Each structure stands twice: as C-alpha cells, then as structure tokens.
Structure 1
C-alpha cells in the first residue's frame, strides 16, 4: 500500500466535500501539492502496462484506461497513450481537475473560454483563448483545470519516451448530474476560426480514432473498504 496515495485520496475527499466549500481553494492547493509528488509506484500500476511492449500487440487500442476509484464527488483514473498518439480535444463541464504525468512525456494543449463562462456542453461553438502548451514528465508538477480556465484540452504522448501515462482526478465525475442539462457528458471539439478570425471550438462527434482498452485495477485496501 502506498501511504502517499492514501494521503491523496483522503485529501481529495476533504477537498471536494461540499461541507468544506469555504476552504476549497486552500484544500485544492494542498491536493495539488500532493499530486506534484505522485509516482507510478504510488498507484500500484504495473510498469508493464505503460511499456512500449504493451502496445505492440494486434488490434491494440491507442489508449489504455484504468478505472481507479469513483464516488459521487470525484473520480480517479489512469490513461496510457500510445507514443505519438493525441487524445482528442475535449471538455470537462463545470469540473475541476488535476493531471499528473506518471510515465513517458505528454504535451497538454489547453484552451479557456474567453467569455468567462463555464462550458456546460450545451453550446455548439465556444470562443476560446489558447494557453501555453505544457510538456510534462514524471518529474513535472501536476497540471490543473477549472470550470473556466484550461477546461478544454488535448493530450499527446511525445515520441522518444514511450507511451505517456497520466493519473487524473476530476470533480464532479463525468455522468454526474449537471443542473438543467442532465448528465455531465464529455464533448469533443475541433479548432476553427470565427468570422472575425477569433479562435473557436466546434463540438463534434467522438472521433473514430479514439477508443480505449480497459485494464482491471486491484485497489488497495483503503479503497476497497470505502
């Protein structure tokens, strides 16, 4: 059992508990600092799963998904992207998130709504501002997104370092209730230019190239007992 991972889970429960909303900013910063120090060993994912060899099999999906944990207020997952593959541009409706690279190197290109309004998934086109891209490896601090800032992103596993694996925490989880809109769904986008030349994102169907294989995760006792 990883003591550090147990601390992350406990801090996430504190951070996203609605009873602690007044202290949210301080708690979120504490969770981010714990995530900054997270390593692959902490979450107890086999190094074999993140190896080049794991993708060198017939009919392998370009992405491997590992469900770690989910409760009503947050979810935890690991994604492993094949080298040179880009997870398509998508959103996180009214969600906070923290992403930590665990293996390989990934490039995160994020976008923020220029209206200052949190995307709900209901608007087909959204004017955005492009953020500076971040290149992350296992020694990099975690990246964050909020309902307004960096809420849209695409993630590329960079060549030369093997598959890119990252752990993320999202709150609330996908498929949780989104007031007035139903379930909180992930939408995908393409970049375009509006009539005035401004950058906009247009909502599209899930790209055909994006699909995942699932790997079973045997959770540590402190997650099994929850």
Structure 2
C-alpha cells in the first residue's frame, strides 16, 4: 500500500511538471509568434495572419471571433505607404474623363484558402454591384473617398418568390429577389476596415470612387468557378417597382429595400490585373 501510494504521488508530480512544462512551452511559442509578427513588414504580417485565420475555414465557414478580431487589427494598421501606393500613381488617373475609368487590380497572393489584392480606382471608377458566394471578406480603404452600397438577401420570404413577383410596369420580370440595404454611405480614409459574411453584413456591394482611392481586399476563400464561387452581377430596382402578395412593408422603411436581378458582367467594366510590386511578401 505504501509503495503504491508513493508511486502514485510520484506519477502525479511528474504529470503536473509535464503540464507546467507544456503550458510554459505553449506560452513561449505564442510570445515568439507575436514577436515575429511585430518584426515583420505590415504586408508580411497580414499574409502570415491570413494563413493562420483561414487555415481551418472553407466556403461558408466564418473564422472564429478571435481570428476575426486579430485580422481586423492587422488590416487596420496598414497604410498606403506600407504597400507602396501613392494617389499620384498612374493607376489612379484617367486620360479620357468621358469614358468609364479603367480599374487596376494588384494581385498580391492567392491560394485555395484566401486571396489578397488591391483595387485601384480613379475618380468616378465603379466596381458594379456583385456578390461574394460563401466568402468572408475583409476590406480596408487605404486612401481617398468611396461610396459603398451593400445589400443582404431577405430570406424570410416564401420559396420561389421570383415567380410571384409582378412588375407594376408592362415589361416582364424574372429571377428577381428582395434585398435589404445594409450600407449606403461615403467612406473617407483613414477609417476602420470592414467585414462582410457569407449570408450577412452586406454580402452584395458596389463601390464608386468619389476621389481616387485604393481598397485592400482579403477574400476567404477566393472566387473559384470550378467550385461554384463565381462572381454574379446585379441590376437594382426600387421596392415600389414590384409587388408581391403577402409582403407588406411600412412606407417609411421601403427605401431600405430593393429588388435585385442577376445580369451579365457589364460590358463597360474594365479591370486590368497587374502583379503587386510593393514591399516583398515571402510565401513561406
């Protein structure tokens, strides 16, 4: 009995010591990781954080609240000079003000889990209303003033609602769904980064450049036609254009609802893809 008790106490002490050593090593590992992140360039820090945040996510799977806060914090600290951009660069000017300005997308990185890139918009540049199927999207306005309008689908409606919609005018309608306006406002840099989710937070949005501006985007996961995550574009119509039996919205709230109808990619949308040439990001 005495020998068994001594062995049990010894094993208990060894187990406690092992736990303490494991906790110490874990804390040291976390401190070392934070230290390494602090020593990195802002772009490298963002890349490493995205690797961590999106490692265990996928289509329709939102990162944990802790990971969301971590990525928003890193993204919020990035400035235009951190990615080598200035408003006087050719990306942000247009030679013909009568034509729809060309938009430049600076490709930084893409894998199956996430993508990073920067949209460069001259004044009056527009990224039309589009969706982000199954994605969690983080955006940071690096400089300039941009008008953002975003929507979420209204989901608590009868199934196959598009077949119930009757247009108040003479032309026929099809594939029309009701959406609620989430955001409709100007944003001026510097401002906090924004986030949209697969089913809410303004999953469908469009950008209009009030002045020359740049937007850093992180998508998790990225668009992928083979996996059904293709970019869809939409027309928007006032709520008063259509009526549906059984749907009643107070007059004062109707401006916050609009009908969206999918359309082909706009012919005047010109997006030129170029490789990012700012401070180097190492893919390790």
Shorter-chain-normalised TM-score: which range?
0.7 to 0.9
Q: How many residues in Structure 1 have an aligned counterpart in Structure 2?
A: 212
Residue 55 of structure 1 corresponds to which residue in structure 2? 94
Residue 182 of structure 2 corresponds to which residue in structure 1? 131
Aligned partners of 2:144 and 2:212 also within 8 Å:
yes
Q: Residues 116, 82 of structure 1: CA spacing in aligned structure 2 closer, same or farther, 3 A cutoff?
A: farther
Distance 1:107 1:93 in 2: 22
Residue 12 of structure 1 corresponds to which residue in structure 2? 50
Residue 81 of structure 2 corresponds to which residue in structure 1? 41
Distance 2:110 2:177 in 1: 29
Residue 14 of structure 2 corresponds to which residue in structure 1? none
Distance 2:265 2:102 in 1: 14
- Structure that is richer in helix per residue: 2
Distance 1:166 1:6 in 2: 17
Aligned partners of 1:102 and 1:137 also within 8 Å:
no
- Measure how far apart 1:62 and its partner are: 2.3
Deviates more, 1:144-153 or 1:19-28: 19-28
Normalized against structure 1, the TM-score is what? 0.81
Q: Residues 116, 176 of structure 1: CA spacing in aligned structure 2 closer, same or farther, 3 A cutoff?
A: farther
Distance 1:101 1:41 in 2: 13
Larger Rg: 2
Normalized against structure 2, the TM-score is what? 0.66
Residue 188 of structure 1 corresponds to which residue in structure 2? 233
CA RMSD of aligned residues (A): 3.0
Aligned partners of 2:54 and 2:63 also within 8 Å:
no
- Measure how far apart 1:49 and its partner are: 2.9
- Structure that is richer in strand per residue: 1
- Measure how far apart 1:60 and its partner are: 8.5
Alignment of 1:1-226 (within 5 A): 3-18=41-56, 24-45=64-85, 47-49=87-89, 52=92, 54-56=93-95, 61-115=101-155, 124-149=175-200, 150-158=202-210, 162-175=211-224, 178=227, 183-192=228-237, 193=239, 194-196=242-244, 199-218=258-277, 220-223=279-282, 225-226=283-284
- Measure how far apart 1:135 and its partner are: 2.4
Aligned partners of 2:91 and 2:122 also within 8 Å:
no
Structure 2 residues not aligned, in runs of 5+:
1-38, 158-173, 248-256
